[in-house]
Amino acid sequence: MTDTWGLIIDVARCHDCNNCFLACKDEFVGNDWPPYSKAQPHRGQRWMNILRRERGGYPLVAVAYLAKPCQHCKNPPCLKAARNGAVTIRKDGIVLIDPDKAAGQKQLVEACPYGAIFWNEASQAPQKCSLCAHLLDEGWQEPRCVQACPTGAMQALKVGGDEWERLMKAENLAAYLPEQRCGPRVLYKNLKRFTHGFIAGSVALANTDECADNVRVLLTDEQGQTLAETRTDNYGDFKLHGLEEAASNLCVHIIVPGLPPKLVAVEFETSLNLGTIII
């Protein structure tokens, strides 16, 4: 089985520094890389886009960032929408738009469910992230965006299908917008930090009026099954991440040794802050 390229992006490590975005601009703005791509315009295109989502309530607020390049899908809708072989999937998994054959084919922009294809008015052609295929073909081990990431939030790998399956299970990787069934080769770690909600709060001890640190906090459903678990930090704060939103009949359990458990009923529409819970 042929090894294929793909990206692993850790949402928890992305801090919106935009180094990946700037590295992409540096490589492609004003530079033609035939036959891979034509120059990216100075403005209006984000081949490496970063989505932002704010969740929670003051003062326990969290912002998650999702770096979103072309997903280099196994089953790309742009391939189906293209004429004259304008879109191809290489043996190594990289999806490319031929800058000459794709001229005039604006339907490719609309075909992408990830919004990762852009229209170049100057060349009258669609274009997108090429995963720096021109550099990889010269022997580079990673595209510019991965090279520029200061937190290690991005990894580029060229491995076989069995290894991808192993990594998905071992690192709990997930696809963004899996309902599109495109088979993306960009997979995410800690994706629920962006797609799901959280319940936050602070715990204080009534007898000392101090923050309750290292206290066990559980979230259960109406059947009593545990949905999430964490412990408070030094300030008594906690966040229960990765929760399906619009859930009802939930219960937060605050468990302090030597004291009766404190139960807080929760109707969970979106990420929320329960405030200070005195126990």
pLDDT at residue 245 tops 90:
no
- Would you state the pLDDT for residue 23? 98
Residue 38 is classified by DSSP as: P
Judgement on whether residues 129 and 164 belong to the same structural domain of the protein: yes
* Domain endpoint, select from 194, 210, 238: 194
Q: Given this model, what pLDDT does residue 14 score?
A: 97
Percentage of the residues of the chain whose pLDDT score is greater than 90? 87
Q: Provide DSSP, 214-274.
A: T-EEEEE-TT--EEEEEE--TTSEEEEEEEPSSEEEEEEEEE-TTSPPEEEEEEESS-EEE
Quickly list DSSP for 129-162.
--TTHHHHTTT-SS-HHHHH-SS--EEEEEE-HH
150 lies in the same domain as 74: yes
Q: How far apart are CA 187 and CA 265, in angstroms?
A: 35
Instruction: Please report, rounded to a whole number, the percentage of residues in the chain having pLDDT higher than 70.
Output: 100
Instruction: Name residue 126's beta-bridge partners.
Output: 119
pLDDT band for position 56 (50/70/90)?
Answer: confident
The domain of 137 spans 4-194
Our count of domains for the chain comes to: 2
In the predicted structure, residue 270 carries a pLDDT above the cut 90:
no
**Burial track 28-45 (b if 16+ CB lie within 10 A, e otherwise):** beeeebeebbbbbbeeeb
CA distance 135 to 114: 24
Joined tokens for residue 201: 């709060």
Residues 216 and 88 in one domain: no
On the question of pLDDT at 83 being above 70, the answer is yes
Give the pLDDT score at 135. Answer: 98
Q: What is the mean pLDDT of residues 167-192?
A: 96
167 and 266 within one domain:
no
For residues 183 and 93, membership in a common domain is answered with yes
Of 175, 194, 213, the residue that ends a domain is 194
Q: Taking residues 225-234, what's their average pLDDT?
A: 95
DSSP state of 123: T
Find out whether 128 and 117 touch, Cβ atoms under 8 Å: yes
Residues 240 and 110 in one domain: no
Look at residue 24 in the predicted model and tell me its pLDDT: 98
Q: What's the CA gap between 78 and 81, in Å, rounded?
A: 5
Q: CA-to-CA distance for 269 and 248, rounded, in angstroms?
A: 8
* pLDDT on residue 157: 97
Same domain, 165 and 261: no
Same domain, 60 and 147: yes
| DSSP conformation class of 168 | H
Q: Is the pLDDT of residue 158 over 70?
A: yes
pLDDT, residue 1, reads 63
CATH number reported for the structural domain that contains residue 142 in this entry:
3.30.70.20
Looking at the fold, whether 10 and 119 belong to one and the same domain comes out as yes
pLDDT for 201-211, tens place per residue? 999 999 888 99
DSSP state of 167: H
Cβ atoms of 237 and 201 within 8 Å: the answer is yes
Residue identified by tokens 């090279």 is 147
Identify the pLDDT of residue 55: 84
Cα 173 from Cα 187, distance rounded (Å): 6
Write down which residue in 160, 194, 228 finishes a domain. Answer: 194
Tell me: do 211 and 172 sit in the same domain: no
Quick one: 220 and 178 in the same domain? no
In DSSP notation, 53-91 reads: EEEEETTEEEEEEEEE-----SS-HHHHH-STT-EEE-T
Cβ pair 232, 203 in contact under 8 A = yes
pLDDT at 59: 80
pLDDT, mean of residues 71-82: 98
What is the average pLDDT across 137-157?
Answer: 98
**13 plus 87 within the same structural domain:** yes
